[in-house]
Amino acid sequence: MTSHDVVAAVRRRFQIKAVGHTGTLDPFATGLLVVMLGGATRLARFVEAERKTYLATARLGFATTTDDGTGERAGQEWSGEWPSPGAVEAALDRFVGSIEQRPPAYSAKKVDGVRSYTLARQGRAVDLKPATVTIDRVTVVEYAPPLVSWRAVVGPGTYLRAMARDLGESLGTGGHLVELRRESVGPFHVHDAVPLASLTGAEPLIEPLALLGTMPRVTVSEEEAGWLRQGRRVGETTGGGSAALVLNGQLVAIGTATDGAWQPVLVMAA
């Protein structure tokens, strides 16, 4: 099942057209998909910026054309001794921080306006430029050669398939991703999710403000809320960045610090 299939199912059950999600999961992956309804869909780009936690498993021994188990074998299969646990841990530790990561050829990245996966399926060579991504933490969960599992907390744009590929290259064995589970997105955890098969459309919805995770909150007055809805700046700030502008616990707008005040960049319907 694809992320698009999940959105379609939610649309049917809640009988609403405006439905979106905050980050595609590969069809073979499992775990959490944060789905937004109605006006909350406009918050997607802010939720996508939140940290995500994944549980990933790679098979060492050979690479594949897709960097996962759905592709064809690429190159020779490893026939030497398996790396030691210490070597695997050290290799994964080198991913922590701000790194340059080459996206998989089978990805939604565009090359001259065409999706990379479209070109790859046509058998055309795809040369994607590395992108800067952030990986906050990596922990080895289990290593039983040829399989290695780890948990990673990552920033937006990070590909776990690329991480599995690069791990195999670093160890000299080759490798590809065989299992992936998204455990959390910002403040939301898969343990608190509603299974799609159990979804009825009558479940209570989460307030849009909760989608914004660690974004700072700034309380505004009734008068300021009215100004925000007119696109006017409000309040005072000596800092930078963005904040959720809130009235009585409800999200009014998201503002960015501009010339000492909060300039609304997104305003929720009254």
Catalytic residue IDs: 26
What is the rounded CA–CA span in Å between residue 232 and residue 252? 13
Helical (H) or strand (E) element with 133: strand 131-144
- Tokens 């592709």 -> residue: 71
Phi, psi of 143 (to 5 degrees): -135, 110
What is the rounded CA–CA span in Å between residue 147 and residue 130? 26
Tokens of 260: 């000492």
∠ Cα 80 84 86 (to 5°): 150
* CA end-to-end distance (rounded Å), the chain: 36
Torsion of CA 60, 63, 65, 68, to 10 degrees: 10
Phi, psi of 37 (to 5 degrees): -120, 150
